[in-house]
Amino acid sequence: MSSILVKPFINALETKDKNLEQLASKGKNIIGYFCTYTPIEIIHASGFIPIRVLGDAEKIERADTLTPDFICPYMRLALEKGLSGGYSYLAGLIQGYTCDVTCGIMNIWKENIGGKIFYTMPIPYFDSPESRKLFRSLIMELVEKLNAIGGNFTDKSLSESINIYNQIRNHILRLYEMRYENRLPLSGGDLFYIIQAGFVTPPEDYLKLLEALILKINEESYPANKGIPVLISGSVLNNSRIIDLIEESGGKVAADDMCTGIRHFYPPSGNGNDPVDKVIDRYIRRFPCPSRSRFTDRLPVIINNIRRSRSKGVIFIFQKFCTSHLADQPILAEELKRENIPSILIELEDPGIYEGQLRTRLEAFFEMIG
């Protein structure tokens, strides 16, 4: 049954390039972004379509001539697709500053692929009146750059964009709540595809898909998913294969702390006196990411989600060379151990994974915690 529920989202993913090329041919400007710290409401309110750049190239060849091989495979795969013409529909890139690799890829992209706009926004690390004032000035600078390439930003359009994205986030967080309660009739891989589709689909269209999904789930009752519940924590995932392996090996993804997961959606909205203030409030109170927060901020959030989902362990899943996550992991694992929560670390070297080796490690982990 879950395959029927998720089919529209898989179709959206499989046809994303064709669909976006068609929109670009009709005069729509499509703006790419890499990280969930990018204020996509501002891009959308200016009349553009924000889409997340995915690392879905099949192999890395041309990108290796422009980057060292000791950086995040996801970023190299994204650049490879761009250099091969796979992102010809993008008008440019806008990025909330997170890591040095992302900023470097932005510069390489600009010099070798080109586009109308390239902007990196240095989002404040701490919450204070001064930080929020700075954030506002950065947003207005971004608005000016977007208006210079044909944008039409207004407070009204921003309110409308905020409303669309708030509805999307609330629907996704509702699915998370159902998963915490073991009432979600979707595998971990299914939910991954649903979320991925939202990264590359115009938000108005994606909202309709989510509304139809929620309606179908509410109309029927489904058996609970089986397996040992775990929380997965880490950076970006390019595909669902590692999640499938977890669930084939006896586990069940019951919660996550992923860049391509809950970090993109929580909190669903922000508060403020005007629409820009609401955007500032949401992004400055975002679900903590290791690239911009201390482990002491992340630990209680992770433990809370472990408790809510009744997870029996944590699987850290990192892109190789992701220094922000790798720096946090040892101390997080130690603190989790103090709470009697076992963990395991998996590093991904895309475009392939060693399934046999991983399956053996995962089966041993589930046997230990089962």
Task: Go through the domains of the chain in sequence order and give each one's CATH number.
Answer: 20-157 (3.40.50.11890)
Contact 184, 175 (CB under 8 A): yes
Q: How high is the pLDDT of residue 189?
A: 94
pLDDT tens sequence across 52-72: 999 887 788 999 999 998 888
Give all strands (DSSP E) within the chain, no chain letters.
30-33, 49-52, 90-96, 117-121, 228-234, 251-258, 314-319, 343-348
Say what the pTM is: 0.95
pLDDT at 310 over 60: yes
Give whole-number Cα distances, 140 to 41, 164, 276, in Å.
13, 21, 9
Q: How high is the pLDDT of residue 70?
A: 87
With 0-12 / 13-18 / 19 or more C-beta atoms within 10 angstroms meaning exposed / middle / buried, residue 325 is buried
Q: Which residue in the block uniquely carries the two structure tokens 């992004």?
A: 283
Instruction: Give 328-332's long-range contacts (Cβ < 8 A, gap of 24+).
Output: 328/290, 328/295, 328/298, 331/295, 332/233, 332/295, 332/298, 332/299, 332/302
Q: Cβ contacts of residue 97 below 8 Å, gap of 6+?
A: 37, 103, 120, 121, 122, 123
pLDDT at 109 over 80: yes
pLDDT tens sequence across 16-61: 999 999 999 999 999 999 999 999 999 999 999 999 999 887 788 9
Nearest to 348 by CA among 251, 243, 208: 243
Give the β-pairing of 343-348 and 90-96. Answer: unpaired
With 0-12 / 13-18 / 19 or more C-beta atoms within 10 angstroms meaning exposed / middle / buried, residue 338 is exposed
Helices (H), strands (E): how many in the chain? Answer: 14, 8
Mean pLDDT confidence for 299-303: 95
